[in-house]
């Protein structure tokens, strides 16, 4: 089951306090990015955050589960209605994640 586009947009809007948020459709669901760095997934109308030790202590509820069959565990963030909380989680997650590798230029 794919995610509802309205839910995806709602989560993106809720995370906007952390930076420039973008979503990209991936394999029927969505990757969610902040300032070009992927920090989570939206699958089956659930929001998943990449796990980092820095964020674990900030979570109200720690629930790890895979967003789709065969995936590694992510933090399931059930409370998507608290905008400040989500922005803080996204910001701290992105600080703990490595910078994305630069894309190679295609040869012409």
Secondary-structure percent of the chain, ordered helix, strand, coil, rounded to 5? 30, 25, 45
Report the distance separating Cα 31 and Cα 42, nearest Å. 6
The confidence score (pLDDT) of residue 1 equals 62
Tokens of 95: 């600080």
CA distance 11 to 85: 12
41/103: higher pLDDT:
41
pTM summary value: 0.89
| Spatial separation of the C-alpha atoms in residues 87 and 37, rounded to whole Å | 14
What's the confidence (pLDDT) of residue 90? 96
- 100 pLDDT more than 80: no
Residue 103: per-residue pLDDT: 73
Supply the pLDDT for residue 12: 97
Residue 85 has pLDDT above 70, yes or no: yes
Tens digits of per-residue pLDDT, 28-83? 899 999 999 999 999 999 999 999 998 999 999 999 999 999 999 999 999 999 99
What CA–CA distance (Å, rounded) separates 20 from 1?
27
């Amino acid at each position: 089951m794919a995610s509802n586009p309205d839910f995806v947009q709602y989560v993106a809007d809720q995370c906007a306090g952390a930076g420039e948020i973008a979503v990209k459709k991936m394999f029927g669901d969505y990757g969610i990015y902040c300032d070009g760095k992927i920090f989570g997934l939206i699958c089956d109308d659930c929001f998943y955050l990449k796990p980092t030790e820095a964020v674990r202590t900030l979570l109200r509820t720690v629930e790890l589960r895979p967003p789709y069959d065969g995936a590694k565990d992510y933090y399931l963030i059930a409370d998507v209605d608290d905008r400040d909380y989500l922005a803080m989680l996204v910001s701290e997650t992105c600080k703990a994640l490595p910078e994305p590798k630069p894309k190679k230029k295609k040869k012409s």
